Structure 1
Amino acid sequence: MSAAATQARTAALPGTATAGGRLRRVLQAMMIGLRPMILGYCLVMIVSFTIGGLITQYVGGGLDHSMWDYGTQSPKYFSAAIGITLTPALFTLMIAHGVTRRMFAIASGVLLVGTAAGIALLWVLVYQVERVIYTWAGLTQALENPHLFTKTSQVGLIFTEFFLLIVSHEVAGWLLGIGFYRFGFWKGLALLPLGVLPAAAAEFLLVAQWIAQALENTGYHRPPLAVAVPGVIAVSALGLYFGYLLIRPIGLKPAKG
């Protein structure tokens, strides 16, 4: 077939036959599968931390802390659960319907990064809404946990902290899910230290939230953000690439035992 004929045939194909079109379709399918889990979490999180924060502070004698700061661990661990769930829940179904392993791996990486950005933006938003309410009511919005930011008007630092912690925990969860799915329980268990490396690296590089005080008590302090932020990005990117390599040879049937 001539080059002109090949180009004409390619141009005549529908948009979903292109690589970008296929990627969009796979991402849409993944989002449909995970949407109840993600939206349900966001709804429960907003309601529970609003009510829980109010109760905690009223019992303690009044509103003098940020309500949302009591729940900063939640998005990390939920995001790890997303990563763990992704491959066991969707891999077999999608491969059986003609999605290539390469496309599944790429779409998984895009989904994890996009979900991390979305949840981080949600935390930025709730901090800002709370700041407006507290300012209007004359309340103190003190932060319960150490952060990269010192006040909730530092939107860029809020997003950076939550995005990096969330995406690193997602990647760790994804590696764990792939490991257990591909190799079975015992080999997956042996790979556990490697799987949690992105999350551990983020915690030690950013030194934020609940683990910060414990690390500082040992004499360890956060490296400069110019080192910490690119470090977390690099480790998370390597984790995504390693997950891509692990997925390429997986068979349709998960390993047993």
Structure 2
Amino acid sequence: MNKSGQHPALKVAGSMWSGYRVTLIWYWSIFVIVYVGINLLLRHLGEVDESMWGGGIWEGSVYSPKIFLLVIGILVTPVSLASYVTFGITRKHFAWGSALLFVGLSFVCTVLTAVGYPIEQLLYQMAGGTGDLKQPPLLEGSMDYFILSVGYCLAGWLIGNGYYGKDWRVGTIICVAALVPIILMEIIADAGTSFALWLEVLMLLVVAGLLLAANLFLLRKVRIRRKLV
């Protein structure tokens, strides 16, 4: 927090990364073990139709990390804003530092998710499997997933900012409204084959940009609450 010459937003991002990276490590460690273990157990017990395994078990792993990032987004302002303002960080610098944190967390989750596909393919072949699993295009899928992950962070952030800065009634309205952009982003990503890649990415970035702008607006003059309850 006190590195001379470093931009305050970078100080915020670096400081929060130091705390959230431990959470990130624990989450991914538990998630991989539990997710893979449950799926292998279900397959061993014959509870799942073998025809459903053409894409491998990792294909269904993309949902949980996005919910994890949504929750992180919800917590950032209520947990951290007051402390940073106390140490002289402005709301603006806190907001941009938080945004950088979300980009970093989303990038790590995207890389770990993408790495899972070739690892699964390798393990599949080592176990005697033939041919390739039906997996999504790695580059295109990773680009979509990264922007979607940032969107989930920003949507969660909007929910947290809404409840933090407003009364519960307005906060609830903001909470519902925050879900609309990520639903729209999911629809755009799912319909990706209907658009050129550049257009799909552009639309996703526009929606994410609107979420970021909404968060910056809410944080601009938010009242600092010293106690959460």
Q: TM-score, normalised by structure 1?
A: 0.77
SS of residue paired to 1:73:
helix
2:142 to 125, 143, 159: 159
Q: What 5-or-longer segments of structure 2 have no aligned partner? A: none
Percent identical: 24
Contact 2:121 2:133 in 1 (8 A): no
1:127 matches 2:148: no
CA contact (8 A) 2:78 2:228 kept: no
Q: Secondary structure, in 3 states, of the residue corresponding to 2:95?
A: helix
Cα distance change on mapping 1:255 and 1:228 into 2, 3 Å? farther
The 1:158–1:121 alpha-carbon spacing in structure 2 relative to 1, beyond 3 Å, is: same
Name the count of aligned residue pairs: 223
Among 85, 92, 105, the alignment partner of 2:75 is 85
Partner Cα distance (1:201, 1:224) in 2: 17
1:77 Cα deviation after fit:
0.9
Alignment partner of 2:171 out of 178, 185, 188 = 188
Question: What 5-or-longer segments of structure 1 have no aligned partner?
Answer: 1-14, 144-150, 213-220
TM-aligned CA distance change 1:157 to 1:135, over 3 Å:
farther
1:59-115 CA-partner distances (Å, limit 9, x unpaired): 237675512123221011111101111111111111111111110000011111111
Match of 1:99 in 2: 89
> How much does 1:116 deviate?
0.7
Structure number, greater radius of gyration = 1
Measured in 2, the distance between the counterparts of 1:172 and 1:253 equals 21
1:242 aligns with 2:214: yes
1:1-257 to structure 2, matched below 5 A, reads 16-18=3-5, 20-60=6-46, 65-139=55-129, 142=133, 151=135, 154-207=137-190, 222-253=194-225
The 8 Å contact of residues 12 and 98 in structure 2, kept in 1 or not, is answered as no
* C-alpha separation in 1, matches of 2:104 and 2:211: 16
Q: Distance in 2 between matches of 1:96 and 1:164?
A: 32
Q: 1:224 offset after TM fit, Å?
A: 4.1
**Deviation at residue 207 of structure 1 after TM alignment:** 1.5
Residue 195 of structure 1 and its aligned partner are, at CA, apart by 1.6
Say whether the 8 Å CA contact 1:198–1:232 is kept in structure 2. no
Measure, in 1, the Cα distance between the counterparts of 2:111 and 2:228. Answer: 39
> Residue 56 of structure 2 aligns to a residue in which SS?
coil
- Provide the secondary structure at the position in 2 that maps to 1:72: helix
Q: Tell me, in whole angstroms, the C-alpha distance in 2 between the residues paired with 1:118 and 1:29.
A: 17
* Distance of 2:23 and 2:227 partners within structure 1: 25
- In 1, Cα distance between equivalents of 2:203 and 2:215: 18
Give me the CA root mean square deviation. Answer: 2.6
Q: Is the 8 A contact 2:158 2:174 kept in 1?
A: no
- 1:216 is aligned to none
1:23-69 Cα deviation digits (max 9, x unpaired):
33211221133233222111111111221121122223767551212
* Partner AA of 2:139 in structure 1: G
Give TM-score, length-normalised by structure 2: 0.86
Partners of 1:162 and 1:31 lie apart in 2 by 21
Cα deviation, 1:152-190, whole Å, max 9, x if unaligned, reads 5x3212311321221111111111110110002111012
Mapped partners of 1:164, 1:226: distance in 2: 13
Preserved CA contact (<8 Å) 1:87 1:178: yes
